[in-house]
Structure 1
Amino acid sequence: MNSACNYNVELYLEDCIQSVLHQSFQNYELICVNDGSTDSSLEILKSFNDPRIKILDQINQGQSVARNSALDIASGEYVWFVDSDDKIAENSLNAL
């Protein structure tokens, strides 16, 4: 499971999600928590059509609460938190 928590990161969000979706290892879920963004972050999240993506939309409560919200619905054995302004290398999940 990967979790990307976002708050007003419309400039970086698509690149972050694309870097996760283009992994060589494909057996994961991507939980994206929109933590009360006031920009177009939620619309960007909704624009992806991939069954591995789960979107949580909540009022702004901060990074810790957003991550705990993702953990509440996670189904995987392992968790990797990715900030929404990060990009991960193509073979990262496979290497881990």
Structure 2
Amino acid sequence: MILISIIVPVYKVEKYIEKCIETIREQTFKNLEIILVDDGSPDRCPEVCDYYAQKDSRIKVIHKKNGGLSEARNSGLEIMTGEYVAFIDSDDYIDSNYIFDLYKTINEEEADIVSCNYYQLDENYHKLKYRKKIINSQKKYLII
């Protein structure tokens, strides 16, 4: 089965990080490599990342000096081993079929890249909905 790497840059999101990680762990598509990049976060985020790495063998943690979002994502790209990559912000969370639906679209449409729009949730946390866009290119990526 194909491996999909998910890279999550983490910085000052103590309030949101656990929900983000849990929704990634609960994906219906299970063959995931989850890379949490602690970008020198001064709150409890580094400890939370380490806790989840001990709890789930699919999770890898990188602790680094703060260098910003792009550098954090690039750090994850350097160690990823999946055939596809998804980037998820650490203050976001995703529907349980999120990765499966995007991967399914890649296969059905023979696309190299799939991206999607997002909707903000209201205060009642109504279920996340998204639309899919299909883009063909020479490289294979899941862009989230």
1:14-54 per-position Cα deviation (integer Å, ceiling 9, x unaligned)? 00000000001100100000000000001111111101000
* Pairing of 1:1-96 with structure 2 (within 5 A): 1-48=5-52, 49-96=55-102
Structure 2 unmatched ranges of 5 or more:
103-144
TM-score normalised per structure 2: 0.66
RMSD: 0.5
Taking only the aligned residue pairs, the percentage that are identical comes to: 45
For the pair shown, the structure with the greater C-alpha radius of gyration is: 2
Which aligned segments of 4 or more residues in structure 1 are displaced greater than 3 angstroms? none
Q: How many residues align?
A: 96
SS of aligned partner of 1:29:
strand
Report Cα offsets for 1:51-96 as digits up to 9, x if no partner.
1000000000000000000000000011110000000100011111
TM-score in terms of structure 1 length: 0.98
Distance between the aligned counterparts of 1:22 and 1:40, measured in 2? 22
